[in-house]
Amino acid sequence: MQDHVIVRLEEASKYYQQGTMEVRAVDGLSFEIHKGDFAVLCGPSGSGKTTVLNLIGGLDAPTGGKVFLEGQDISLLSRSRISIIRRDRIGFVFQAYNLIPVMTAYENAEFVLTLQGVAESECRERVMEILKEVGLEGLENRRPDEMSGGQQQRVAIARAIVTRPAIVLADEPTANVDSATADSLLALMERLNHESGITFLFSTHDQRVMDRAHRIIRLHDGKMETDEVRN
């Protein structure tokens, strides 16, 4: 599983102008994420973790260097083409859940499939299967305001994986839940990684996430400090 490269950064940089100062959020970063990785980007605030996820997810374009997703340099693509790749090949899990409040759990999980034009019968089969897999069977008709934070994050995970993406990018996914809920969410994502081979890349400050990671990439001032692979 580890020989298939999903993501590759080659001297990727992202610079911002703050007044007269140039801020190097990401500064010549190079690494690969392989199929089946359960990897973490960690480091202090301002180390570049979220910016790296935004570059990989096509939400931001690099100032310099290259970002490859499944062998394709996404930094060369048009915004419309990147939007299609983001829809079809990348799952996102955010700390704020980012669910659509007027939609039920089922509808939130189904949303991207409908954008892809998946037939209604297949949508239903896939969504119900995924909701069951993430522990939300029987809650499919609840809206976000009728669910706990942990349940909302499970909907977000279901939405991220129902499209069978190449990679799931999770930005501080345990930040807004209590310890017990965080542990159960991490156990769920670890099981999805182990049993279904789903590739995860987290950005986090949370030691619990780091303790479960199979690989830890430590960043400081936009540069890599260490890249530790665990058995």
Q: Can you give the pLDDT at residue 3?
A: 60
DSSP calls for 7-58? EEEEEEEEEEEETTEEEEEEEEEEEEEETT-EEEEE-STTSSHHHHHHHHTT
pLDDT digits (tens, 9 = 90+) for 102-138: 999 999 999 999 999 999 999 999 999 999 999 999 9
User: Are 67 and 12 in contact, with CB atoms under 8 Å apart?
Assistant: yes
Q: Is residue 70 classed exposed, middle or buried when 0-12, 13-18 and 19+ CB atoms within 10 A define those classes?
A: middle
- Cβ neighbors of 23 (< 8 A, separation 6 or more) are 15, 16, 17
Per-residue confidence (pLDDT) for residue 222, from 0 to 100: 93
Q: pTM of the predicted model, to two decimals?
A: 0.92
Instruction: Sketch out the chain's domains with CATH numbers.
Output: 5-229 (3.40.50.300)
Euclidean distance between CA atoms 226 and 79, whole angstroms? 33
Residue ranges of the chain whose pLDDT lies below 70: 1-3, 231
Q: Which residue is it, tokens 């037939």? A: 119
Which of 173, 218, 205, 219 lies closest to 192, judged by CA? 173
Q: Is the dihedral of CA 81, 87, 89, 90 positive or negative?
A: positive
Sign of the CA dihedral 122, 127, 132, 137? negative
Amino acid 18: pLDDT: 84
pLDDT on residue 6: 97
Supply 102's token pair: 């007027």
Per-residue pLDDT tens over the stretch 75-105: 889 999 999 999 999 999 988 888 999 999 9
The token pair at 145 is 């305001």
Q: d(Cα 57, Cα 70) in Å, to the nearest integer?
A: 12
Q: Quick one: pLDDT at residue 1? A: 41
Query: In Å, what is the CA distance from 5 to each residue of 8, 126, 166?
Result: 7, 26, 10
pLDDT at 22: 87
Q: Which helix (H) or strand (E) covers residue 90, if one does?
A: strand 90-94
Q: What does the angle CA 195 – CA 89 – CA 91 come to, to the nearest 5 degrees? A: 65
